[in-house]
Structure 1
Amino acid sequence: MCPRYFRSSLLSLCWLVLAQSAAQPAQTGQSNENQSTLTVRANTRLVVVDVVATDNKGEPVTGLKPGDFIVQEDGTEQEVQVFSFHQPGSEPPAATGPFAAPGRLPRGVYTNVPQYRTGGALNVLLVDALNSNFVDQAAARDAMLKFLEKLPAGEPVAIYLLGNKLTLIQDFTSDPEMLKKAIAGLKQPKSRAMTNAADSMVTAQLPMGSAAAETVGSMPGLLRGLAEFRDQQSAAQADVRVSITLDALNALARSLAGYPGRKNLIWVSETIPITIAVGRTRANSNRDYSAAVERTENLLSNAQVAIYTVDSRAIAGSTQFNVAGDPNPISAPQSEKQTLRGEAGAVASIESDDRVSTRSTMNDLAEKTGGRAFYNTNNLEGAVRKSIEDGSTYYTLGYYPANKNWDGKFRRITVKTERPGVKLHYRQGYFAIEPQSYAKLDASQKSSDLAQALSLSFPVSTALRFQAAISPPSAETKNKVLVNYAVDPRQISFELQSDGLQHASIDCAVIIYSQKGEALQTLSNTMNGSLKPEEYQRVMERSFPCRQTFDLGPGEYLLRLGVRDTRTGLIGTLDAPLTIPTQAAGTESK
């Protein structure tokens, strides 16, 4: 039996059967052998560019019209077909239909559709404890508290903490008291991937004690061995931090994608563990991360996320002249290190390279996503404030590229205006990735993406909107838990194939967790839809269905439910509590 709510307002599996739709469930990874491989695709995509316009004093410029902008892609002018203006206090656009923000839902029905709506930009404060030491974390927290004391009215802010995993500390709100309470309650976790997370990233080259320093100084081979070990340790830790950081940014992009409009990501960090050079992106281990970083940048751009990087180190001298920053304070005095195999010079070189690398990467990430980079300032509060002010008033331009060759290469976007005295900044471009290219990715990568999205270590994803109705075991469900999914069809990639049918494929998955967060069971299946024109029209007016049933004994559980478009890789997840009383399990029909 299907829940009444789904019969009345959303398309359920029951409706699909009654309509004699060709949607057939299949195991993940399997395909229909009779399905034709000839397809007709709408080979286009809308490119969205958020543009911040300011005058010579840095104040936002309002009143610009579509004709005031000239948009070019790789030097070729594009026709602007989407235009809108946004500023703080703007009324959010009217939302209608089953996948609008629903408010209160019927019992047993859950959704990942974002509840918070605004007509302006959203702001996300990312406190980076993974790549920052204790001292800089404390400085960043104090700066945020000062900023929140004077938070402009109507500015929605969410707070995330990047530690050994990404954690949502406070969801979107414009209430300064709630935000201050969240920041004040932040614990300062020690980064497991930094050599000296207490204060400095510089590692001691010598054992503790001046006698040991003298001994090592007389044995060049041992000194070189210690230096090589230090470098290998640093490289391994950098790889760990790169992996966690990119996973966190990917998860943020998926979590924010369902919110309409621009999202300003204010990333407060001591360092970014990636070096972006011409044609190559690497970590300190020299491992090439170009493909991974490009994918992350693409996810962020598609989610309309602009990165504002804030260097939490402020203005500071070398750590070797700061006793609090010496990772080995009772070893040889600084004066001795000045002459011992040139350690002072080596430390200065390491710190200089790290700062140059970090600032180069900060600039690159900000420019490519349409944000700004802030460093060399002791006014961290001001940097956070300027980040939010800069991205709060903007224009959204959209165009369909004239070049339909999706070759994966980077395409540079240029936006100009003939209005005198107006300065524009926006994201530099995008990677021309075919929208349906996700299906061609390595199976292990796709499996990893879904597993990450279904993990409680990451926030829920809103990139693919859906609702789920959960029915506990009963005689009507044959003593099984029944989950009916309803996916927003407007976000699904349909293909018109040579059989005249519209084809789509959606993965549905669930991980069942205990109240302690222990994964107990994982289930997944794929719904392949082959729809006639009239069926396709009805689906587009309602939803695309998927269904799961499974056995579950009495107890309290948390379900992380997920859906994924197998062609585009768009993912949506939600959390749903489920309580099965003792009498419900094994209930027989009377």
Structure 2
Amino acid sequence: MTKISRSCLFVFTICASAGMICAQLKQSSSDSPTVIRATTRLVQVDVVVTDSSGHPVKERLSEKDFTILEDGKPQKISFFSFQQFEDQEKQKQLPPQLPPHVTTNRPEYRRAAGPPIILLMDGVNTPVENQIVVRQQMLKFLADHFDPGMRIAVFLLGNELTMLQDFTSNPALLTAAMQKYRSQASAAGRQGGADVQLQAPTFDGANLPPQARAQGAAGSGGDSDSRSLMNIGYALARFEKESNANTMEMRVAHTADALAAIARYLAGFPGRKVIIWFSASFPLNLSVVDPEDFDVYRSYADRVRAATNLLSDAQVAIYTVDARGLVGNSISDPSETGRDANGRMALTVDAHMNANSKETFERFNKEDSLIKVAEETGGRVFLNTNDFDRAIVESVRDSSTFYEIGYYPTHKQWDGKFHTVKVKVAGDGLRVRHRSGYYATDPEKWRKSGEGEMKAALERDSIASTGVLFYARAMPPSGNADVKVEFLVDPHTITFETQSENQHECSLEFQVQAFTPEGKLVKAEVQQAEAPLKQETFDRIQRSGLPMPVSIKLAPGQYMLHLGVRDNRTGQFGTSELPLTIGEAPAH
């Protein structure tokens, strides 16, 4: 039996043999005494160093070669590590196998060779014709340029986030996943047109409906009727703008939620991870031209930055690729004659210039989101190119050699504000890429602000979260007994605070949700656990894991258990799924 298998089985006996540990885990109550705690947080920054040609620096740098600044002020480096991927045989071994009735979200059970890379195909923000090109390019890459040292997963962002293929170094599996991929109708396409920027409508004679022009030419009441119809037309145009703004807001929220789900999935994987996001993107701002439209104005920068902050905290860099490839200007297209179907001039000179400016602005506005997401996570952006292979090759190269730097901020103010981070390196011609900063969120607010996050992830996400790592076992009960779900939490993925010289405390939330094969939630159990642990117990947990049993009453039948553990101090959580059959499943 392997060492890992023994650790899996240990969860079966640890709760029985460690009654003292479980006894010290108590139900939290709202009338608990207030404890004043000192908050410290290590800010970790992954730094890629390249020469002037963009290639990794061969000479290994030392800590003294780096200077790190936060909001322009020097910080003391508390942690420094050089990371270099080596294609060793032990990394090519097959992942270990779990015993029956046991699940885990630990990354080593899906580990393969190479730094982890996710290909994210964006069907929400990308026209169908561009999705087809991306798919063809990826199949070509797998056939011609795939390196067995790569570890790649394929995700699809459609109506929901779907994992088409988990991490693998097998090109045949990746090819099969890409062949399964079918283009999704983009949000713009489902609306019947491209994204619309807000503009003030103009109502001259040519733009009025025929009945308005007819009534306007009639007697004395014509002017009044015409104005009435103009008001109706304006109201309809405004309704369309508001609908477009709301639809765009939902698109951005859906995309940000998907990026957050991937960040939670990758959080437990060691080292630098990469998402290569193929997308036509969305504008960071829904712009307006007329002052009357400013109440419909939208800015999505904060929502996008919150998602990129989660990614950066999980050591994930995004390499954004404009799925439109080479982008021209349709107004200056040689095939565009400037005349309509009847041979008349479609645009006046002024209208031509305005349309040209509008198209250019919209393109740059969309590209801005691709640029910002890449820059803020320490990745790269690939615009106006059909060379999609290069994004994959360079992301692998960047993640194979990098530096991990950590520091404790000197400001000590966890006020939720964004703090910029800048890394400088000694040496001529050297360039660095890293996250642009972080939000200084107060850990004491994480519990209240994110109380529903794990519940929502368990109900909605089919992709595991790895912020807190654990094993769990659930055996079919005998008779009418409750189902006992036995958790074993990795103590190195949760936080403990020292309350006194010989006492350590953690605060955890455990959730068990039972779903039918049809996806209906039938029962859920939530348990809050505060653990003031004596030194002897704390040392034992550090060696063997933290056990916790959670019971749930279920009738005979087939279930999928959605399991979650959340660290209330950091907001990090882990999730996994486990099938369970109790008795004889009823006939359907």
TM class by smaller structure: 0.7 to 0.9
Report sequence identity in percent: 36
After TM superposition, the structure 1 = structure 2 runs for residues 79-228 of structure 1, keeping only pairs within 5 Å, are 79-91=76-88, 103-114=96-107, 115-117=109-111, 121-149=115-143, 150-191=145-186, 193-195=187-189, 200-201=194-195, 215=210, 218=213, 221=231, 224-228=234-238
Counterpart of 1:98 in structure 2 is none
Check whether the contact 1:81–1:399 (CA below 8 A) recurs between aligned residues.
yes
Contact between 1:559 and 1:577, CA under 8 Å: does it hold in 2?
yes
Quote the offset at 1:195 in angstroms.
5.0
Question: In the superposition, relative to structure 1, how do residues 486 and 346 fare at CA in structure 2: closer, same or farther (>3 Å)?
Answer: farther
2:44 is aligned to: 48
Please state how far the C-alpha of 1:75 moved relative to its aligned partner.
Answer: 3.1
User: CA separation in 1, counterparts of 2:451 and 2:390?
Assistant: 41
Instruction: Find the residue that maps to 2:477 and give its secondary structure.
Output: coil
CA distance in 1, matches of 2:513, 2:356: 49
1:259 matches 2:269: yes
Q: Distance in 1 between matches of 2:472 and 2:335?
A: 54
Q: Counterparts of 1:262 and 1:214 in 2: how far apart (Å)?
A: 59
Q: 1:46 to 1:498 in 2, by over 3 A?
A: closer
Q: What is the CA deviation profile of residues 71-94 of structure 1, one whole-angstrom value per residue up to 9, with x for unaligned ones?
A: 222333333343333344355999
Cα pair 1:338 1:345 within 8 Å, conserved: no
The answer to whether the 8 Å contact 1:165/1:458 transfers is no
Aligned partners of 2:22 and 2:548 also within 8 Å: no
Is 2:459 the counterpart of 1:455? Answer: yes
Report how far residue 217 of structure 1 moved.
Answer: 9.3
How many pairs are equivalent?
A: 547
Distance 1:196 1:89, change over 3 A: same
Task: Measure how far apart 1:467 and its partner are.
Answer: 0.9
Q: Secondary structure at the match of 1:316?
A: coil
CA-based RMSD of the aligned residues comes to 3.6
Matched residue, 2:220: none
Which of the residues 458, 462, 486 maps onto 1:484?
Answer: 486
Structure 1: distance between partners of 2:328 and 2:198: 18
Q: Within 2, Cα distance between the matches of 1:284 and 1:511? A: 42
CA deviations on 1:188-221 (whole Å, 9 max, x unpaired) are 1223x32556774459999xxxx99973895755
**Is this contact kept in 2: 1:270–1:312, CA < 8 A?**
yes
Cα distance in 2, alignment partners of residues 170 and 195 from structure 1:
26
Distance of 1:93 and 1:276 partners within structure 2: 51
Change (3 A) 1:19 1:203: closer
Cα pair 2:197 2:286 within 8 Å, conserved: no
**Structure 2: where are the runs of 5+ without partners?**
1-5, 214-228, 288-293
CA distance in 2, matches of 1:217, 1:321: 35
Distance 1:147 1:275 in 2: 34
Hey, what does 2:241 align to over in structure 1? 231
Structure-2 change in CA distance of 1:324 and 1:173 (3 Å): farther
Deviation at 1:419, TM superposition (A): 2.0
Change beyond 3 A, Cα 1:322–1:241: farther
Q: Is structure 2 residue 25 aligned with structure 1 residue 23?
A: yes
Q: What is the correspondence of 1:395-474 to structure 2 with a 5 Å cutoff? A: 395-441=403-449, 445-447=450-452, 449-474=453-478
In the other structure, the counterpart of 1:249 is 259
Contact 2:25 2:529 (C-alpha < 8 Å) held by counterparts: yes
| Aligned counterpart, 1:286 | 297
Contact 1:11–1:486 (Cα < 8 Å) also in 2: no
Structure 2 counterpart of 1:280: none
3-state secondary structure, aligned to 1:309: strand
Aligned in 2, Cα 1:454/1:465: closer, same or farther, shift over 3 Å? same
2:390 alignment counterpart: 382
Structure 1 residue 466: deviation in Å?
A: 0.8
- Structure 1 Cα separation of the partners of residues 328 and 8 of structure 2: 63
Deviation at 1:542, TM superposition (A): 2.2
Q: Is the 8 A contact 1:236 1:285 kept in 2?
A: no
What aligned pairs does 1:363-382 form with structure 2 within 5 A after superposition? 363-382=371-390
Contact 2:279/2:323 (CA < 8 Å) preserved in 1? yes
Q: Which has the higher helix share?
A: 2
* Residues 542 and 186 of structure 1, relative CA distance in 2, 3 Å threshold: same
The residue that corresponds to 1:328 in the other structure is none
Cα pair 1:505 1:526 within 8 Å, conserved = yes
> Is the CA contact (8 Å cut-off) linking 1:489 and 1:544 kept in structure 2?
yes
The one-letter code of the counterpart of 1:158 is A
Q: Is the CA contact (8 Å cut-off) linking 2:281 and 2:369 kept in structure 1?
A: no
TM-score scaled by structure 1?
0.82
Inter-partner Cα distance in structure 1 for 2:127 and 2:399: 28
Query: Is residue 2:306 matched to residue 1:298?
Result: no
- Structure 1: runs of 5+ lacking an equivalent: 95-100, 278-282, 326-330, 585-590
Q: Cα offset for 1:535?
A: 2.1
Counterpart Cα distance in 2 of 1:11 and 1:543? 12
Larger Rg: 2
Matched residue SS, 2:297? coil
**Cα deviation digits, residues 531-553 of structure 1 (max 9, x gap):** 22222222222222332222222
Task: Give the C-alpha shift of residue 171 in structure 1.
Answer: 0.7
Aligned position for 2:226? none
1:519-534 to 2 correspondence within 5 Å?
Answer: 519-534=521-536
Q: Which residue of 1 aligns with 2:513?
A: 511
Q: Name the CA distance, whole Å, in 2 between partners of 1:391 and 1:7.
A: 34
- In the alignment, is the contact (CA less than 8 A) between 2:8 and 2:471 conserved in 1? no
The answer on whether the counterparts of 1:437 and 1:568 sit within 8 Å (CA) in structure 2 is no
Aligned to 1:562: 564
Query: Offset at 1:261?
Result: 0.6
TM-score norm. by structure 2 comes to 0.83
CA distance in 2, matches of 1:197, 1:109: 45
